[in-house]
A and B are shown apart, each in its own frame.
Chain A
Amino acid sequence: MPAGGASQTQVQSQMQPLLQPHGTMQGYDPGAFFCEMLRPGQPQHPTLTLLMSRLAALPIESLRRRAADAERDLLERGITFTVYSDATAIDRILPFDLIPRVITPAEWTQIETGVIQRVRALNMFLRDIYHERKILADKIVPAELVLKNQGYCEAMVGFNVPFNTYVHVCGTDIVRDETGTFRVLEDNARTPSGVAYVVENRHMSLRVMSDLMTGLRVRGVDEYGLRLHNAMAEIAPPGVEDPQVVVLSPGIFNSAYFEHVFLAREMGVPLVEGRDLTVEGGKVWMRTTSGLAQVHTIYRRIGDDFLDPDAFNPDSMLGVRGLIEAWRRGTVAIANAVGTGVADDKAIYAYMPRIIKYYLSEDMILPNVDTRICAEPDALAYTLDHLAELVVKPVAESGGYGLIIGPHATKAELADFRALLKADPSNYISQPTLKLSVSPTLCDEGVRPRHIDLRPFAVTGKDTWVLPGGLTRVALRAGTLVVNSSQGGGSKDTWVLA
């Protein structure tokens, strides 16, 4: 204490902010990466300083005990996905790292407005390509890229959806580079998953890390079900006073089944499978204990191809025969709309800066990663010349498959990939290797920097609302940049400071 003997009731004496990792954080060194906790070159946020000192004061054994508790808790609660092999079914958890990722109010404003801007542009783009096709006529986006796209759906042409909203739930994958700039990696406009983990991770934090959170003003995440239900009610056919919403799931064997349960529970609506629904007289009905009851909005977690064997994949056992016809008659709403896959395609992504400018006359609030479209000759030449420095991705894949990370690839892998790329350049885009930001993460060696990304969730009926925060995924293996759960990634609670 400084001399002078300050009384007990006074505000604590001013101290130099704890900029250096100490205590449990000792040995933590993010190197050249942007650290979400230390934030080099950015103004110190008092909550972050406090959080780091609280974290540093927690003995590592205590952190490990809590991590073990959290892991057991997730398994017991069945916050799991099931991995099936020949004869066994194993429940796996998405590993939870208990050190939260923090977003300041100013950062959140940028993310929130940026996501809303993108969702608006995506919806306007979809409206346009399924109607007037002005953006194609004006040659902003090549017509064949849209019309020959796997996600493009002929059945949508000329069909109107309420409020011109096609993408009711959007998950925007965002990373942060070494300068601390947020960049969008991709838009997920079909059936993005992960929102259940956002809420469950918060509940887990409150259970195992409540002392870390005490007194901090962190924005809540419990509103999601209510907001989603309201959006689903908004898009229901007009004139229905108390619309019946359902969540349509492929069933208990689907790996995202836990999330489907979560969504139905949080919205307070039935969780149905295709076999529970039937189309009669141009309307969709669910089979209840008291007979057929009409369904007005379907939040579906089944891909386009499987929705209706009459309209799409005739072998699908998961969908509902006649659903698309009922939808076209306007007796039922489907979220997300069919045919949104064309908007979240990696090839279209490269045009997003131009798409936003075209429809909104605005600059991007959340920039893209600099992306080269290998279908364009200059871009292909550049990509081939700089293969060892770039990330090259196939445009139609997701889940981190089929991509090559130049700096991590062997000579032989690069040579093989070069052949693939030359054979089918329009299937690929290239981007500079990103130095993804890092966040302190509990590892075997102690608290260490690990790469993270962020997927905020936007819900759109009449208007767009963004759940504060989103899913922070973390690459748990040292050095790896791939955060996908299928490739050894975990997740963190995401705190947006109020």
Chain B
Amino acid sequence: MDLIPQPHKVHLIARHAEATLWLARYMERIENMARILDVTNTFARDADDTRNWLSIPRINGDLTEFYKKHTEATQRSVGEFYLLDADNPTSVQSVIAAARENARTLRALISTEMWLQINVFYGKIRALTAATISPDHFTAVCAMLKDGTQAHTGITEGTLYRDQAWHFYMIGRSLERADQTTRLLDTRFHSLAPVSDAADADIDAGQWNALLRAAAGYHAYRREHPSGYNAPEVACFLLANKAFPRSVGLNLMQIEWHLTQLRTRYFLRMSPALERLDALNGMLTYQHVGELADGRLSPFLDYVQGEIGGLHKDIVETFSG
């Protein structure tokens, strides 16, 4: 049963559906970048500063590109590479430009308030310079980026008409959140893997701390696991938990709901994506993830990332060509 009678069929241009997925992904990506930069800057200050800052190019698979431009990973070099560098397609400058381009494509479809906020946010990001991201402003810049993306999220929640385009938007956001969480987890599992002696224990607590804060899951995790950190529990929290907004499991669940809506309400052929999702969901259980956390998590995370990319492709392929 439909809530709104639809005597008039409203079509969604296939190209616009794809732009909607990307708009959501890019805006989400900016928030993730801001979180990681902020947390690295604030909580991961210890003896091995370089290792901490280097984790960011590693998360994004940018190590080669990063070392072409910089010799050392510091707040300054990583900050410039990810906030200002227009040649770097993963920099916030590049990502907001891409997000705005998609928003422009969708301007007749999205709410005017969504467009206006993105346009103003774009102006603020474009105005960033090496001076404005210097140490005394670094946290403020990260806060501005988080505020901007969260305002976007709120405006979208409150104003975007919930037809097909909204479902694609929500799928895009969840795909990006799931992807970013696997990346975050992957780097930490690289650096955290061997717990060799007690001296490392403090560092590790700080690392887990930073990881969870970057994913905005620190307090929720403490509530669920007040006794402390261990690798299987953190991995399960970020991958299999169905209550944490940035867990892979929760986001896949949401994607499934939106795909089902698109299939049943709009008769879109979503079976390839739903099948892939089904298989992926089967592996993201507490039991399975817990078993992998002893050192086999990294290849599994690569596999999950690949499948998230595959989901995006499946969805786009249903309506292109």
What are the residues of chain B within 8 A of A312 when measuring CB–CB? none
Q: How many residues of A contact B (CB 8 A)?
A: 26
B268 lies within 8 A of chain A by Cβ: yes
Nearest-neighbour CB distance to chain A for B19, whole angstroms, equals 10
Nearest-neighbour CB distance to chain B for A247, whole angstroms, equals 8
Chain B residue nearest to A87 in the complex (CB): B86
A286 lies within 8 A of chain B by Cβ: yes
Is the beta-carbon distance between A288 and B319 smaller than 8 angstroms? yes
B164 lies within 8 A of chain A by Cβ: yes
Is the beta-carbon distance between A275 and B8 smaller than 8 angstroms? no
A-B contacts, CB under 8 A, total:
73
Contact mask for chain A residues 280-294; partner B; CB cutoff 8 A; 1 contact, 0 none: 000000111111010
B49 lies within 8 A of chain A by Cβ: no
Is the beta-carbon distance between A275 and B15 smaller than 8 angstroms? yes
Cβ-neighbour of A271 out of B108, B262, B268, B319 (below 8 A)? B108
Contact mask for chain B residues 221-259; partner A; CB cutoff 8 A; 1 contact, 0 none: 000000000000000000000000000000000000000
Cβ-neighbour of B11 out of A75, A264, A275, A290 (below 8 A)? A290
Contact mask for chain B residues 10-21; partner A; CB cutoff 8 A; 1 contact, 0 none: 011111110000
What are the residues of chain A within 8 A of B262 when measuring CB–CB? 289
B116 lies within 8 A of chain A by Cβ: yes
Contact mask for chain A residues 256-300; partner B; CB cutoff 8 A; 1 contact, 0 none: 010011001100001111011000000000111111010000000
A445 lies within 8 A of chain B by Cβ: no
B299-321 contacts to A, CB under 8 A, are 318-320
Contact mask for chain A residues 238-264; partner B; CB cutoff 8 A; 1 contact, 0 none: 000010100100001000010011001
- CA distance in complex: A271, B12 (Å): 10
Chain B residue nearest to A291 in the complex (CB): B319
**Chain B contact residues, majority secondary structure:** helix
A138 lies within 8 A of chain B by Cβ: no
Is the beta-carbon distance between B11 and A244 smaller than 8 angstroms? yes
Cβ-neighbour of A265 out of B101, B108, B319 (below 8 A)? B108
Chain A residue nearest to B321 in the complex (CB): A287
What are the residues of chain B within 8 A of A257 when measuring CB–CB? 104
Is the beta-carbon distance between B11 and A286 smaller than 8 angstroms? yes
| A78 and B119 contact, Cβ closer than 8 Å, known pairs A252-B101, A290-B319 | yes
Is the beta-carbon distance between B116 and A78 smaller than 8 angstroms? yes
What are the residues of chain A within 8 A of B16 when measuring CB–CB? 270
B105 lies within 8 A of chain A by Cβ: yes
Is the beta-carbon distance between B13 and A290 smaller than 8 angstroms? no
Cβ-neighbour of A287 out of B8, B13, B115, B266 (below 8 A)? B13
Cβ-neighbour of A252 out of B13, B105, B318 (below 8 A)? B105
A45-91 contacts to B, CB under 8 A, are 75-78
Nearest-neighbour CB distance to chain B for A278, whole angstroms, equals 11
Chain A residue nearest to B269 in the complex (CB): A290
B271 lies within 8 A of chain A by Cβ: no
| A289 and B8 contact, Cβ closer than 8 Å, known pairs A76-B116, A77-B116 | no
- CA distance in complex: A486, B280 (Å): 56
By size class, the interface of chain B is 20 to 34
Nearest-neighbour CB distance to chain B for A89, whole angstroms, equals 10
- CA distance in complex: A348, B318 (Å): 52
Is the beta-carbon distance between A77 and B14 smaller than 8 angstroms? no
Cβ-neighbour of B14 out of A75, A261, A271, A288 (below 8 A)? A288
What are the residues of chain B within 8 A of A290 when measuring CB–CB? 11, 266-268, 319
What are the residues of chain B within 8 A of A287 when measuring CB–CB? 13-15, 319-320
B112 lies within 8 A of chain A by Cβ: yes
| A272 and B13 contact, Cβ closer than 8 Å, known pairs A252-B104, A290-B266, A290-B319 | yes
Nearest-neighbour CB distance to chain A for B161, whole angstroms, equals 11
Chain B residue nearest to A246 in the complex (CB): B13
What are the residues of chain B within 8 A of A244 when measuring CB–CB? 11
Nearest-neighbour CB distance to chain A for B237, whole angstroms, equals 35
What are the residues of chain B within 8 A of A242 when measuring CB–CB? 7-9
B81-121 contacts to A, CB under 8 A, are 101, 104-105, 107-109, 112, 115-116, 119-120
Having A76-B119, A77-B119, A290-B319, one finds 8 other A-B pairs with CB under 8 Å, namely A247-B108, A252-B101, A265-B107, A286-B11, A288-B11, A289-B17, A289-B262, A290-B266
**15 A/B residue pairs, CB under 8 Å, sorted by A:** A75-B123, A77-B112, A78-B104, A78-B115, A252-B101, A261-B107, A270-B13, A271-B109, A275-B15, A287-B13, A288-B13, A289-B266, A290-B11, A290-B319, A293-B11
The 6 closest A-B pairs by CB, nearest first: A264-B108, A271-B108, A288-B11, A261-B107, A289-B319, A287-B14
Query: Which residues of A are at the interface with B, using a C-beta cutoff of 8 A?
Result: 75-78, 242, 244, 247, 252, 257, 260-261, 264-265, 270-273, 275-276, 286-291, 293
Query: Which residues of B are at the interface with A, using a C-beta cutoff of 8 A?
Result: 7-9, 11-17, 101, 104-105, 107-109, 112, 115-116, 119-120, 123, 164, 262, 266-268, 318-320
